[in-house]
Chain A
Amino acid sequence: MKSCLIVDDSRVIRKVARQIFEAIGYSCTEAENGQTALDLCKTALPDFVLLDWNMPVMNGLDFLHGFRKLPGGDVPNVVFCTTENDLEHIQEALGAGANEYIMKPFDADIIRGKLEQLGLLES
């Protein structure tokens, strides 16, 4: 089973995202900020990361920089999922190695669509 790490400081968002990913066969772990997430990744790398931008302690962008430097950290798909919805943020995220970008609010269709584009889900 593929694993998904959901990083968001909102418990509600994590719950919604978990339901979507579990429905398509992912096992999910959750982290409430970038630092916790990075610590988890040092033990075991997930196959996929759904990543909020604005979080206390460590934000999503700093997490991504650290994550991509981990051994094997260049492989998993990292998809931002954030209320930051301007072109500058999107470009910054892509520049830092994000594979896709979701602007909140999102729904299951948007997540599934992005997974299809990344080749992780059959259309």
Chain B
Amino acid sequence: MKPEDFELFSTLVKQRSGLILTPEKAYLLESRLFPVARKHNLKSLEDMAQAVRARREEPLLLDITEAMTTNESFFFRDQKPFVLFQQKLLLYLLSARKEKKHIRIWSAAASSGQEAYSLAMICLEEAAKFQGWKIEIVGTDLSREMVARARAGIYSQFEVQRGLPVTHLVKYFQQIAGDKWQIKENLRQMVQFREGNLLTNVGVEGVFDIVFCRNVLIYFDGPTKTRILDTISQMMYKDSFLILGGAETVLGISDKFKVVPGAHGLYIGQDSTYEL
């Protein structure tokens, strides 16, 4: 790819999603953009770059941005945050929210929905403790295509085996074709998916008790990380929880949050008195 074309695509993606593409990611750009070029009847990435320069048509720009935002996701990814959610955070809220009996959970950058559905499965496992409660789970993602996939809740045989115990497969999925499994209706109804961009229009309103925003910040530069954490902090209560990915931190990036000693990846507001 010509340097000026790489520059064009990476600037576009940065403006649209905040995602930074360094030159060593050029191979990734090429492999992901070829299908977009084909879809738009463009013979090469060079032609596509020209089309972007000449016409700046929204569908093409949107497809390029979507292709470049990563979508790796599996059920109960990394396990530990989910154990924490089930054994600590839900129990804390069970007592802290006992008056209003309402919990709101946000899976920011929900991708194809595995994280949000994993949380919903845990809520169902704990349902006996939360009788009469309203538990809302909302997933947002930048990508139209991902939001549609997440809503459908249909996963390949490969996807349902990554991270998901087989007992959960039996309990929460129905087999709709030889190698396709769909989340059962009752679980799908627990989760809403919407389009949202953490830099512009987050796609959700109101305040959340728990925000999962894992493996998102790693793709952004410092000032953008700060901005995203500011946005999230405005949508949390004083004692809400933020869960980041294993390689991410708020340290040196945001003064809105502090770490919870002993709980890797868990962050709380500066004024929260929560401890494990």
Contacts and interface: CB of A to CB of B under 8 A. Distances in A.
Contacts, number: 39
Interface size class of B (residues with CB under 8 A): 10 to 19
Contacts of A116: 79
A94 B161 contact: no
A90 B162 contact: no
Interface of B: 74, 78-80, 157-158, 161-163, 165-167, 169-170, 174-175, 178-179
Contacts of B179: 85
Contacts of B158: 105, 110
A59 to B, nearest CB: 19
A106 B161 contact: yes
List 4 tightest A-B contacts by C-beta distance, closest first.
Answer: A101-B166, A123-B79, A110-B161, A117-B165
B178 A94 contact: no
Nearest to B166: A101
Given A87-B175, A113-B163, 20 more contacts: A85-B157, A86-B175, A90-B166, A91-B170, A94-B166, A100-B166, A101-B166, A102-B161, A103-B157, A105-B158, A106-B161, A109-B162, A110-B161, A110-B162, A113-B161, A116-B79, A117-B163, A117-B165, A123-B78, A123-B79
A91 B165 CA distance: 13
A105 B170 CA distance: 19
Interface string A76-111: 000000000111001100100000111101100110
B167 A94 contact: yes
Contacts of B80: 123
A94 B80 CA distance: 25
B161 to A, nearest CB: 5
A109 to B, nearest CB: 6
9 contacts: A85-B157, A85-B178, A90-B166, A94-B167, A94-B170, A100-B166, A110-B162, A113-B74, A114-B161
Which of B78, B80, B162, B174 gathers most chain A CB within 10 Å?
B162
Contact of A100 (B79, B163, B165): B165
Nearest to B161: A110
Contacts of A113: 74, 161-163
Contacts of A90: 166, 169-170
Nearest to A99: B166
Interface in A41-57: none
Which of B166, B169, B175, B179 gathers most chain A CB within 10 Å?
B166
Contacts of A114: 161
